[in-house]
Amino acid sequence: MRYFLIAGEASGDLLGASLMDGLKQLDPEARITGIGGPAMVSHGLQSLFPMDELSLMGIWEVLPKYRHLKRRIAETAEAVIAARPDVLIGIDSPDFCLRVARLVRARRPDLRTVHYVAPSVWAWRPGRAAKMAEVIDHVLAILPFEPPLMRAAGMTCDFVGHPVATAAVAGPDEAAGFRDRHGIAPDAPVVLCLPGSRRSEVSRLGPRFDEALMRLRDRVPEIRVVLPTVPGVAGIVREMTRRWPTAPIVIEEAEGKRAAFAAADLALAASGTVSLDLAANRVPMVIGYDMAPLSRLVIGWLLRTDTVTLVNLVSDTRAVPEYLGRNCQPGPMAQALQDALENPAARSAQLAAMDLTMERLGKGGEAPGLRAARSVLSAIREQRSR
């Protein structure tokens, strides 16, 4: 069969690569075209154009390139029509993928459309699911509580597992090697500082996180702070941390970050999927997040849940403390960090919630890419049988 895949950012590229593996296992004659990044290209995709043209976040990044993106949406839709695939699969990046799907649906209403990663309607803007159902037939969900929400909006949906649950983590030898390389004593607590992967997040959260960690250091002087980062913000991170009273160890390379997570005893992290990476490594955490005042006000009106931390949501607990908006302050975060480090009951509750989260996300089961591929093929067969 013929498949057209569209990924618009790094996380989608990784999902797309694992999906390609699964499709080729189940359909050895699979012909896959579309848009993707390095991971999908390494699996044989010839990308229609470079994926990084789509990797934009926020109004101020998108506006200057709006006309160009609009052309790319039209160009992609034309490519889908020309390729005559059996299914169109958008992978995350809903602003781009769903616009392409809408143009394609107007001309090929019979084409099966799939979207990989459900919109977070459980958190805010529930109307997005109904709007998505206008152009999407089937959803591949990566969180176990999402399928009923997608089905209620009129789409079929399968939970296919979250990649973090089956991803390899570093072992004790790598953790010990990390401590040796950075001169960290075996009994010194390692605390990860994770203020986000975007410049705006790092600029806003970095100083507050630093102050919280300084307060923790006053109480637990032997801690060592490690700040894993990504290339897009590594420069601003290094510049900012040079002004911190005690500079952290900044880690940029992927292998170093894997080892740092394995060596860590505790983390102060921005809200987001990083909480699942920490859970996979069984690292107790405190979550903090804030945004610009207007955005904070709007999101506060729209938010539909009392927690945004995925470990809390998936485990159906509130074991991970979080400090959001005006509550994202150094003093309370420092106290929560000390509790997570020194209070056995608090640590045990977090570890139990993390283990349950990984179990519910598919740990020990079939690879998510293979589950996703099986779901795609089932969706195609179901349509053809009607």
The token duo for 259 is 């080892």
Length of the chain: 386
What CATH code is carried by the domain that includes residue 274?
3.40.50.2000
Per-residue model confidence (pLDDT) at position 51: 86
The CA distances from residue 309 to 76, 281, 304, 320, in Å, are 35, 16, 13, 7
Question: What strands, in cross-sheet order, belong to the sheet with 87-91?
Answer: 31-35, 2-7, 87-91, 112-116, 138-141, 156-159
Cα–Cα dist 46/37, whole Å: 10
Q: Point out which residues pair with 35 in neighbouring strands.
A: 6
> Which amino acid is it at 278?
L
Amino acid 34: pLDDT: 97
Could you give the CA distance from residue 38 to residue 11 in angstroms, rounded to a whole number?
Answer: 11
Domain holding 91, by residue range, is 2-161+365-385
User: What gap in Å lies between CA 272 and CA 11, rounded to an integer?
Assistant: 13
Q: Are residues 110 and 258 in the same domain?
A: no
CA torsion sign for 345, 350, 355, 360 is positive
**Cβ-contact 114, 157 below 8 angstroms:** no
**Within a domain: 264:** yes
Q: Which residue has the tokens 């209070």?
A: 343
Asked if 156 and 182 sit in the same domain, the reply is no
Instruction: Please state at what angle helix 66-83 crosses helix 94-107, rounded to 10 degrees.
Output: 50
113 shares its domain with 256: no
What is the pLDDT at residue 64?
Answer: 58
pLDDT digits (tens, 9 = 90+) for 291-310: 776 666 655 655 667 888 99
307 in the same domain as 210: yes
Query: Would you say residue 167 lies in a domain?
Result: no
pLDDT score recorded for residue 36: 94
What are the tokens at 45? 């995709």
pTM comes to 0.86
Question: How many Å is the Cα radius of gyration of the chain?
Answer: 22
Q: Are residues 207 and 76 in the same domain?
A: no
Residue 124 lies in a domain: yes
Residue 374 dihedral angles phi and psi, to the nearest 5°? -65, -40
Same domain, yes or no, for 120 and 38? yes
* Number of domains making up the chain: 2
Domain membership of residue 141 (yes or no) is: yes
291, with CB counted inside 10 A (0-12, 13-18, 19+), is: middle
Task: Name the stretches of the chain with pLDDT < 70.
Answer: 55-65, 122-125, 293-304, 386
Are the beta carbons of 354 and 341 closer than 8 angstroms?
no
In terms of domains, do 241 and 281 share one?
Answer: yes
Q: Are residues 155 and 55 both part of a single domain?
A: yes
Report CA-CA distances (Å) from 328 to 197, 352, 368.
18, 25, 34
Cα separation, 172 vs 169, whole angstroms:
10
Helix 254-263 / helix 172-181 crossing angle, nearest 10 deg: 100
Q: What is the pLDDT, as a whole number, of residue 55?
A: 57
**264, 270, 257: which is closest to 208 by C-alpha?**
270
Asked whether residue 9 is assigned to any structural domain, the reply reads yes
Residues 80 and 206 in one domain: no
Q: Give the angle 114-59-97 at the CA atoms, nearest 5°.
A: 10
Q: Cα separation of 384 and 386, whole Å? A: 5
Q: Are residues 272 and 355 in the same domain?
A: yes
Which residues fall within 8 angstroms of residue 356, CB to CB, at 6 or more apart? 314, 315, 317
Whose structure tokens read 């960290």?
184
Does residue 258 sit in the same domain as residue 341?
yes
Spatial distance between the Cα atoms of 78 and 71, rounded to a whole number of angstroms: 11
What are the tokens at 2?
């013929």
Same domain, 92 and 184: no
> CB within 8 A of 28, min separation 6: which ones?
none
